[in-house]
Amino acid sequence: MATDAHRDAAGQSIDEPVYIEGKNHLDEVVDEHDVVLVDFYADWCGPCKMLEPVIDRLAGETEAVMAKVDVDANQQLAAAYGVRGVPTLALFADGEQVEQQTGALPADRLRSLIEGYTE
């Protein structure tokens, strides 16, 4: 379990999800951090709401940065990543997308997926 707070380039703590404001913002987050889990979600999506506390908890417990993309507000960005259903989770390691899963995954499976790239 990570005990030190992660910090972004501006020195802000990232032990909570980063809400992505567009393609350039996502690119910056992916470029600045070794491992980033991106949650493509929608406010109206039941499984997305079930996944939200899991993502929040993993932000503080793992070395990965959790990023959230509202697919309704960022339709072109979601389309660029082939998001056809929500939630869709994309994992980036060293600036490259290495995994993509559709559906709400259990916390232990997400943790294992992240730890495969952070250890």
Going through the chain in order, the beta strands assigned E by DSSP cover 18-19, 35-41, 65-70, 88-93, 96-102
What are the structure tokens assigned to 4, written together?
């030190």
What SS3 state is found at 19? strand
The residues assigned a catalytic role are 45, 48
What are the structure tokens assigned to 101, written together?
């899963």
DSSP 2: -
